[in-house]
Amino acid sequence: MPSDRSQPRPRPPAGPAAQPPRAEGDAGAGPAGHALAPALWKLLQATAEALQAVQGGQSGTAALAAVAPGLRPGVQALLFQALRNLGRAQALRRQLAPRNPPPRIDALLCTALALAWNPDEAPYEPFTLVNQAVEAAKRNPATQAQSAFVNACLRRFLREREACVAATDGDPVARWNHPAWWIERLRKDHPQYWQQILQANNAHAPMTLRVSRQKSTPAQYLQALDAMNLEAKAVGADGIELGQPQPVQQLPGFADGVVSVQDAAAQQAAPLLLQGLDLSAPLRLLDACAAPGGKTAHLLEYQPPGAAWQVTALEIDPVRAERIHDTLQRLRLAPAQILVADAGRPDDWWARSGGEPFDAILLDAPCTASGIVRRHPDVRWLRRPTDIAQLATLQAQLLERLWPLVRPGGRLLYCTCSVFRAEGDAQVQAFLQRNTDAVAMPSPGHLIPGQADKAGAVPDNPAGDHDGFFYALFQKALA
């Protein structure tokens, strides 16, 4: 699902399209030829359709792709907020309409309730949202017959909001806006930090940049941002956390590859993998699940002038593999060998990669994405409990297939953007038991999403406000 880092959180009178909401008509020309924003009822109608698609099992990315381009920015902002409040909205809808309405009506009601239930965070005044949700029902032939029902439910909500909200406060799904099984899993996996993780998941993620080591430094880039009156701070070794999200086209040096957008947790992969290696040597490196290419690029940014590295990037999806090409081309980095192949089937690509052991392998394994829910709020509602075991099996298979390709004395960095222990600590312990030639090296383990790494113990985390992640570094014993 596309990140919402570039989307504003509109308050009246500014809406998702930077214009006041309009109850009637289509988007058109305003004074001096300026385009008017789409009518709010249109945005709510499209948001409800996208929410219905997600509830039906479709990804947010696909649901948004089906939205008309002129509506998409506003719908994305509203959909993200609706998904972050969906547990509360569903509980409120059950208070107002105990019998399940048809899916279209349910999605429209939940959209309006998710956006309006908390006036302090509502993108528009609650009464405006209710008026325009009713208008959305009237304007759609598929929901027109039930517009009076929508009106009755939402008007009652406006009258009885405090009582309705109080009646749902005891529901953990409404309180935390995550499925019940997800909440319970976090309670077991992180008994000290589960509340912090859930709170972070419902917050807006910051926009974090990675400064290319070959083109600038964080200190120099902070000066360039300061000259533009943009607030920012350095995080980690190469990162810059912006005070407010900005369109990438307006960032100094973005088009020339000076910076890339990459979360601070993800920026830890390249330095962890390369630490202790002789970077001037002719290294063979593998990024096993490489798309869209951010970590491959970060590895290449560490390559000293004149060093003869061979970097291979694998990606099973041909379309996503093209994104690696695009990333490296924009950053104007030394070329990498990009292969469309399944990392778990080395016989298909091993010879093409050179047929020699690797000095270092980065395995950013497929996972539940439970650590990046704030950027992809649909994930929590799409995942099922059985997904964890299925993905853990795949992760174990990838570790077993790739470990023989590491030279003695070389290393493998295993990482996932997950906070579930089955995809982190438990996976590592099982791997070490199966492979007696693997030595666990110092690494962060589970990174808790948010500002402080461990439940507020670090009041101003030097790594910044990062996503949830897991890292484990293994070194192969010398023969």
Binding-site annotation: residue ranges for S-adenosyl-L-methionine? 289-295, 315, 342, 364
- Give the SS3 label for residue 261: strand
**C-alpha to C-alpha distance for 84 and 89, rounded to whole angstroms:** 10
Q: CB of 93 within 8 A of CB of 64? A: no
Lookup: tokens for 332: 């104007």
Backbone φ and ψ of 448, nearest 5°: -85, 130
**C-alpha to C-alpha distance for 476 and 479, rounded to whole angstroms:** 9
Cα distances from 61 to residues 1, 2, 40, 47, in angstroms, run 4, 6, 22, 13
**C-alpha to C-alpha distance for 162 and 345, rounded to whole angstroms:** 57
Backbone φ and ψ of 10, nearest 5°: -65, 145
Q: CB of 263 within 8 A of CB of 236? A: no
Buried b (16+ CB within 10 A) or exposed e, 364-392: bbbbbbbbbbbbbbbbbbbbeeeebeebb
Containing 45, the helix (H) or strand (E) segment is helix 40-55
Cα distances from 321 to residues 258, 361, 395, 452, in angstroms, run 22, 18, 20, 34
Lookup: tokens for 228: 């533009």
Active site residue 415: no
Q: CB of 279 within 8 A of CB of 304? A: yes
**C-alpha to C-alpha distance for 454 and 470, rounded to whole angstroms:** 13
Beta bridge partners of 35: 29
For the annotated binding site, the residues are 289-295, 315, 342, 364
Lookup: tokens for 406: 């590491």
Containing 181, the helix (H) or strand (E) segment is helix 180-189
Instruction: Count the neighbouring beta carbons within 10 Å of the beta carbon of residue 180.
Output: 12
- Give the SS3 label for residue 319: helix
Containing 146, the helix (H) or strand (E) segment is none
- Look up residue 396 and give its DSSP letter: H
Buried b (16+ CB within 10 A) or exposed e, 47-81: bbbbbbbbbeebebeebbeebeeebbbbbbbbbbb
Backbone φ and ψ of 288, nearest 5°: -80, -30
Catalytic site positions? 417
